[in-house]
Structure 1
Amino acid sequence: MPKILIVEDEKILLEILKDYFLNDGYEVVEASDGKAALELFQQYEIDLIILDIMLPEMDGWSVCRRIRKTSDVPLIMLTARVDEDDTLLGFELGADDYVTKPYSPAVLLARAKRLIESRARTNHMTSTNHSLIINGIHIHFPSRSIIVDDQQVSLTHTEFEILAYLMQNQGIVISREQLIMKIWGYAYAGDDRTLNTHIRNLRTKLGNKAPHITTVVRAGYKFVDSL
């Protein structure tokens, strides 16, 4: 049974979210401040985090930074702020999705479920597809690890899914719409900069292998074997 960590300091919202996830069969661990969230994350095997930004003790930005140092667990950030720069900062820090208050708990549940299911599919690759190696980039699916020229690279859940999907379809142009539906499972409501930010972060982490992810103007993205 997947375990969800919900970090929310507004008690009513916390209880509403908790009920939604419990009723759908998930286990729920809850925290009302950032420091408690980090302690619980170390204590339990968490499958997904729902993280409010405005928290006492330690804000959501700081919690996200700390978690991303050691884990690629799927993470959805919640905020009452509507500044697009805040949204992009969340993605740059490693958030996989971003939801602005007020929101529908049912929609949030659907987004969380999508992230958990996409991770589960990757973790259950068949024995003949444990690894994918192209030009010095090595994906090991069971451990969700990335090795680039013999050096381990830490990717977020979403960055891993984007890279894996592009490499599995090397040489094929993947439209932005295809990529969004594959990764998020719905027509993302944010502007185009959301996907751009994930691609930019991924390229930065790939270093000199970044040019293998090419932008095809007015078409999408393509992973190319040779440069």
Structure 2
Amino acid sequence: MADKVLIVEDEKELAEILGEYLSVEGYKVSLAFDGEKGIEEIDDFKPDLVLLDIMLPKVDGMTICKKIRETSDIPIIMLSAKNGEMDKVICLGIGADDYVTKPFSPLELVARVKAHLRRFDKMPRTLYDKGGLQIGQLTFYKESYVARIKEKEIDFTTKEFEVLYFFAVHHNQVFSKEQIYENVWGLNEYGDISSVAVYIKRIREKLREYDLDYIKTVWGAGYKLSIME
């Protein structure tokens, strides 16, 4: 079955061009030209990935991103005419997986879509691979991208899971932001090093909901996962 991509973009011509490129690549595409319609399509179309403009009529993209993250960890790529660092940090901070500044090449965006969908594991969240890596109160199931505390599953996005799993595999080792980026994102993947700090912040916030303070900052050196229990 073809992956489904929802494009929420008020520039109709741009949305249609992107839809054509993605359709040629074999994706099933739905278009929404305002935020309200975008929210409807999320429920009706049930996309595997969302391309989401920030500045939308009726409901803005950031609000939609937050709404998606309440129930789903599907990849979200934000589209924006703004190229400020703060806008990108805010979008990543509320749960977006990527941030693309206009104007952009449709071919580049298609490549990003492919990269995010390759990473996104569609296995049912109730199916856990056997064994699992246990560090402190956390247990990781790499094949199904699941992290659990005792019997409670933590709602990590795929990239958040990859960052935390990398730390778990290299427990108590210190890594710089550059090293984390190279090992988790890879040199051939889209993104930038500034994303590392944003993802670590998001992971810390989710762990602290369970009173876990596992990610430590080593000033001047980087970060590490340290279990002191």
Q: TM-score, normalised by structure 2?
A: 0.83
> Aligned AA for 1:24?
E
Q: Give CA-to-partner distance per residue, 1:168-223, whole Å, 9 cap, x none.
A: 3334444433433454444656563x32111111111101323x223345554332
Q: CA deviation at 1:150?
A: 5.0
Instruction: State how far apart, in whole Å, the 2-side matches of 1:46 and 1:121 are.
Output: 12
Q: CA deviation at 1:41?
A: 1.1
Alignment CA distance shift 1:22-1:175 (3 Å): farther
Q: Secondary structure at the match of 1:204?
A: helix
C-alpha contact (below 8 Å) 1:96/1:158 kept by paired residues:
yes
C-alpha contact (below 8 Å) 1:77/1:97 kept by paired residues:
yes
Instruction: State how far apart, in whole Å, the 1-side matches of 2:177 and 2:163 are.
Output: 11
Q: Give CA-to-partner distance per residue, 1:4-39, whole Å, 9 cap, x none.
A: 111111011111111111111211121111111111
> Aligned AA for 2:164?
L
Q: Secondary structure at the match of 1:95?
A: coil
Q: CA deviation at 1:56?
A: 0.9
> Aligned AA for 1:2?
D
Alignment CA distance shift 1:111-1:177 (3 Å): farther
2:136 maps to 1:135: yes
Q: CA deviation at 1:132?
A: 3.0
Alignment CA distance shift 1:13-1:183 (3 Å): farther
Alignment CA distance shift 1:126-1:209 (3 Å): closer
5+ residue gaps in structure 1? none
Alignment CA distance shift 1:203-1:178 (3 Å): same
> What does residue 53 of structure 1 align with?
54
> What does residue 165 of structure 2 align with?
164
Instruction: State how far apart, in whole Å, the 1-side matches of 2:92 and 2:179 are.
Output: 20
2:155 maps to 1:154: yes
> What does residue 110 of structure 1 align with?
111
Alignment CA distance shift 1:121-1:61 (3 Å): closer
C-alpha contact (below 8 Å) 2:178/2:193 kept by paired residues:
no
Q: Secondary structure at the match of 2:134?
A: strand
Instruction: State how far apart, in whole Å, the 1-side matches of 2:57 and 2:145 are.
Output: 33
Q: CA deviation at 1:165?
A: 2.6
> What does residue 176 of structure 1 align with?
177
* 2:212 pairs with one of 209, 213, 227: 209
> What does residue 72 of structure 1 align with?
73
Instruction: State how far apart, in whole Å, the 2-side matches of 1:140 and 1:103 are.
Output: 36
C-alpha contact (below 8 Å) 1:7/1:52 kept by paired residues:
yes
Q: CA deviation at 1:48?
A: 0.9
CA RMSD of aligned residues (A): 2.9
Q: Secondary structure at the match of 1:42?
A: helix
Residues matched between the structures, number = 224
Q: Secondary structure at the match of 1:13?
A: helix
